[in-house]
Structure 1
Amino acid sequence: MKSTSAAPPCSFRQWLLHQLLNLKALATMEKERNRRLTRRKMHNYYADAGPLRRELYPRHLEFFAAGATHRERLMLAANRVGKTEGVGGYELALHLTGRYPEWWVGRRFPRAIRAWAAGDTSKTVREILQYKLLGPPGSWGTGLIPGDDIIRTIRAQGIADTLDSVVIRHASGSQSQLVFKSYDQRRESFQGTEQDVIWLDEEPPLDIYTECLLRTMTNQGMVMCTFTPLLGMSDVVLHFLPGGKMEPNLKFRNFEISKSFVVMATWDDAPHLSEDAKRELWASIPPYQRDARSKGIPQLGSGAIYPVPEADIAVAPFQIPPHWPQGFGFDTDSGAGYTAAVWGALDRERQVLYLTDCYKRERAEVAIHVQAMKSRGEWIPGVGDAAALRVTAHDAEQVITLYRRAGLDVMLPDKSVEAGIHDVWEMLSQGRLRVFSHLKAWFEEYRLYRRDDKGFVVKQNDHLMDATRYLVHSGMRRMKTRPAPQAENYRPASSYSPWS
């Protein structure tokens, strides 16, 4: 008996061919879908919903929003938080194409722009910035800038796989131009034409940063910086953080009076980093770089003379026990500069020196300084110097003599700079030098006290540091305890007379 359910051989072949054609069509559609996704990477960032939704990146959004009101912006960012691709590169791609998302509240350019993207070396610019923005060589358009918007790429002369510039289609119909630059080309290469947007990924030298500001000045352009502050309190960081003060969230810039904005992004601001990844990264980072690489806090290890965190030396003020000896060190300018003094008290049992008070004033007469110093205790002995690098030893002695005649018990210190710095560093590292936490002027100098790239101490805003060095290196030998209070009818034995 013949079966009636089996399909004729020709019908099966037709069915199989139909299925294969469907699979091929689906594969083609999937390939095209993937192609479009890879060539429209920019549109996949900061989604409304999902595990990496936009609201989970508040620091990134603060940086974007600040662009509407600030010409200069800095993201001090930890490693792996997305500062290059997700912040600097993403925003630059938006400005180059004019394809802003609906939620965008930062600055918008309704026209094509001229822009630079710069990094520390030509190699890192090619391997990082060029790759992030355009994709790998041979696959231009698979980076942040949509492939359909790339009109033309211009290769750099004599360097394989390296682009000099790119012409990009803007949503307005005109054409934006992006030029790649590197800091190793030196400041002169950053001179010339005005730019609308300059993105500096990794910390630039101050002269290059200043040149970039000039390039964006006449047309109200903007400069964006994204870097991990591995160079410590450098000149560029201090440009954004006068005094080196790090506020809790760095949301302290006044939008109406400041042209610059800075935000800090830590590992906790990057939800794409798992706890396991954070632990692995933490273990691989040298201790002195951990604050910079995990929190975006300028590191102490590069250039800092005393690489000890403030939190390790600051203590709450307390009443000084009367049996603790006290003394002070001071640094005075023989001209019209600053005079500064630091007072200390020594816990002899624990051999810990506490810095308890400080004084700093500019352009005042000797009598004013003396009055301020006496108010801390006329009985306290000290050591001090008169702007040692700018006057002779004889001049310094004459200046100190003025303070002695005014009633201060003060002597010239041993002025050996490196020996004094070593003594202070040794006490700090051993936990034997503590500072009352309310001494803001002292801590401001402390966080800026550094060496330049040639190893010399930077002689700027260092008067309290000099006074501290004098106190530790020479003044501790002169310390004494507070004299016991005397009765009103007390007279020294040498002045006693039975006939009086």
Structure 2
Amino acid sequence: MTDTVEYGPDPNEIRKHQKKLLSAREYNLKYRRRDFFKPSAKQRDFANADPRLTEIRLIAASQSGKSSISMAVEAQDATGNYEEWIGPTNRKFLKPPKIHRPHEYMSWIVSTSSQVQKQTMQLNLVGNVDDPNGLGTGFLALDEIVGKPIMQAGRQGVVDNITVRRATGGTGNIGFRTMEQDISAFAGATLDQFRWDEPGPIRTYLECLARLTAVPNSRACVTLTPTEGRDQLYMRYEEPAPLRKTWRMTLFDAEHLTKQQVEEIIARTPEQDRPMRIFGEPAQGSGSVYPYQEQSIIHNVDPAVFESQPWIKVGWGVDITHGGSASAFGAVLAFYDMHSDVLYIVDCIKLKGVNIPTQVQAIRQHPYGDAIVVYPRDSEQPGDAMTGDTLRDQYKRAGLVMASKYVTDDRNKSPGLEDGITHVSTRLATGKLKVAAHCRDWFEEYRSYHRKDRKVVREFCDLMDATRVLVMGIKQLRYIEMRGFASQYRQPQQKRDWDIFTGKPI
């Protein structure tokens, strides 16, 4: 027994009927939408991505036109009929790959759900198929569609795949997938491209990437508003890669909206959602761990001020890892003003995928490289199977001045995660914890540090963990001879990246 295939509207019947009813201009306005589409400057820039890139991403505000530009370009890639606003050298899919398969061009559109697919990407690409005359009113012209689209069984008006006529005389096929489908639905195909809309599971994204490996000119295209914050997919694109690139588009870049419309959208957007909805900044999940405005935390105190005060203590808090582990090594340096009980974070170091000696060298090269280092209890667990040395032992042997014991609370016990967060939160709320404005990595983590289902999301939080350790270990900080920190390390962090091989600031 075989499943019955469900088909959508017949483009030939629609064409024949509508050409009798409509004038040529009316027909073109309705069924050749792409001819009349004028992309904004930001949309045009994204559409003209370097064809050598293998992964591209557009982070955009809500209602800024990210789905429209994605589907407008997909229609051109699938058919090979490019508009003048895509430059001749950026027309990536003109020539079919030399592989055997049913169509010259094959792609997927991946949405979060069938309902979202129907209302956004599908509507933009093929039109409203629930309307008897709606097929072909998207960015795919009615005259470019070959045969009836195949529909998803049991889902009213949801397209499974559609075939188009290419400029070469061959055909292209565009399939639709959703992130709610089992991973097995993403197996087997050989694709030129897939377009991924909105945040979703990294495992499914990587499975889609595997579908591109046999096609040398293939590409992944992601468009999203980062509603899930800095999840794994978001962070993949934050890692340096020569053939991966990100574009950003705010609501103010949406040229199809008037100034009044933009103001109305801003007015009805909750204040806590505005960074995400208006500017495309990553959301903070179901609740920020530290819901305090950054301006209330930032300090611009000249380090020379600390170096002239004898009541200042200094030390590092660290979130230490096995060398080369998936998580990063995080360290924060702070001066503690005992008179005012204010802890000033003045520097931070974050390194990923490097061994313990390299991590240690990054601290040792700092003017305060021999300041005391406070650390969490799990650092005293065995870290070397051969010698039985703990992680603390390894860091101490490599050259750090490790505290004699892990940080403890007032009961002399190792504090739990929530205890540490409470102490940090109390200091932030009362102005007793300040962070230097140039600590860019610290503030990036701060913005994304959030809870989901009331639990802290333990991703992208290495400097947050180091800060928590530092606050809980404040009584272990020591007086130390001042080293001229201000003269060497006063420049903004972004201008002095660390060389992961030498540990020295660049």
Q: What TM-score does the superposition give when structure 1 sets the normalisation length? A: 0.74
Residue 322 of structure 1 pairs with residue 309 of structure 2:
yes
Question: Aligned pair count?
Answer: 429
Question: Secondary structure of the residue that 1:232 maps to in structure 2?
Answer: coil
The corresponding residue for 2:263 is: 279
The whole-number CA distance in structure 1 between the counterparts of 2:52 and 2:58 is: 16
Of the three residues 47, 54, 75, the one matched with 1:93 is 75
Residue 205 of structure 1 pairs with residue 201 of structure 2:
yes
The corresponding residue for 2:253 is: 269
Matches within 5 A, 1:125-140: 125-136=117-128, 137=130, 138=132, 139-140=134-135
- 1:33 maps to amino acid: R
Residue 60 of structure 1 pairs with residue 43 of structure 2:
yes
Are the aligned partners of 1:352 and 1:433 in contact in 2 as well (CA < 8 Å)? yes
Of the three residues 153, 159, 165, the one matched with 1:163 is 159
User: Does the C-alpha gap of structure 1 residues 43 and 471 become closer, same or farther in structure 2, counting only changes over 3 Å?
Assistant: same
The whole-number CA distance in structure 2 between the counterparts of 1:128 and 1:370 is: 48
Q: How far off is 1:407 after superposition?
A: 7.0
Of the three residues 212, 232, 250, the one matched with 1:235 is 232
Q: How far off is 1:470 after superposition?
A: 2.1
Q: How far off is 1:73 after superposition?
A: 0.7
User: Does the C-alpha gap of structure 1 residues 329 and 65 become closer, same or farther in structure 2, counting only changes over 3 Å?
Assistant: same
User: Does the C-alpha gap of structure 1 residues 84 and 482 become closer, same or farther in structure 2, counting only changes over 3 Å?
Assistant: same
Q: How far off is 1:348 after superposition?
A: 5.8
Residue 43 of structure 1 pairs with residue 35 of structure 2:
yes
Are the aligned partners of 1:370 and 1:406 in contact in 2 as well (CA < 8 Å)? no
Q: How far off is 1:311 after superposition?
A: 6.0
User: Does the C-alpha gap of structure 1 residues 155 and 411 become closer, same or farther in structure 2, counting only changes over 3 Å?
Assistant: closer
Matches within 5 A, 1:331-480: 331=318, 341-347=331-337, 351-358=341-348, 363-364=355-356, 372=364, 376=368, 383-385=374-376, 387-388=378-379, 390-391=381-382, 399=393, 410-414=404-408, 415-416=414-415, 417-439=417-439, 442-443=442-443, 446=446, 455=455, 457-458=457-458, 462=462, 464-475=463-474, 477-478=475-476
Q: How far off is 1:386 after superposition?
A: 5.7
Root mean square deviation, CA, Å: 3.8
Indicate the structure (1 or 2) with the bigger Cα radius of gyration.
Answer: 1
Q: How far off is 1:371 after superposition?
A: 8.9
- 1:100 maps to amino acid: Y
Q: How far off is 1:286 after superposition?
A: 2.9
The corresponding residue for 1:120 is: 112
Matches within 5 A, 1:284-323: 284-301=268-285, 305-306=289-290, 313-318=297-302, 319=304, 320=306, 321-323=308-310
Matches within 5 A, 1:481-492: none
Are the aligned partners of 1:117 and 1:180 in contact in 2 as well (CA < 8 Å)? yes
The corresponding residue for 1:103 is: 85
The whole-number CA distance in structure 2 between the counterparts of 1:179 and 1:406 is: 56
Question: Secondary structure of the residue that 2:48 maps to in structure 1?
Answer: helix
The corresponding residue for 2:181 is: 185
Of the three residues 131, 141, 148, the one matched with 2:143 is 148
Are the aligned partners of 1:76 and 1:229 in contact in 2 as well (CA < 8 Å)? yes
Q: How far off is 1:140 after superposition?
A: 0.7
The corresponding residue for 2:501 is: none
The whole-number CA distance in structure 1 between the counterparts of 2:357 and 2:212 is: 45
Q: How far off is 1:375 after superposition?
A: 5.2
Are the aligned partners of 1:202 and 1:228 in contact in 2 as well (CA < 8 Å)? yes
The whole-number CA distance in structure 2 between the counterparts of 1:341 and 1:396 is: 19
The corresponding residue for 1:493 is: none
Are the aligned partners of 1:304 and 1:448 in contact in 2 as well (CA < 8 Å)? yes
**Which deviates further from its counterpart, 181-190 or 269-278?**
269-278
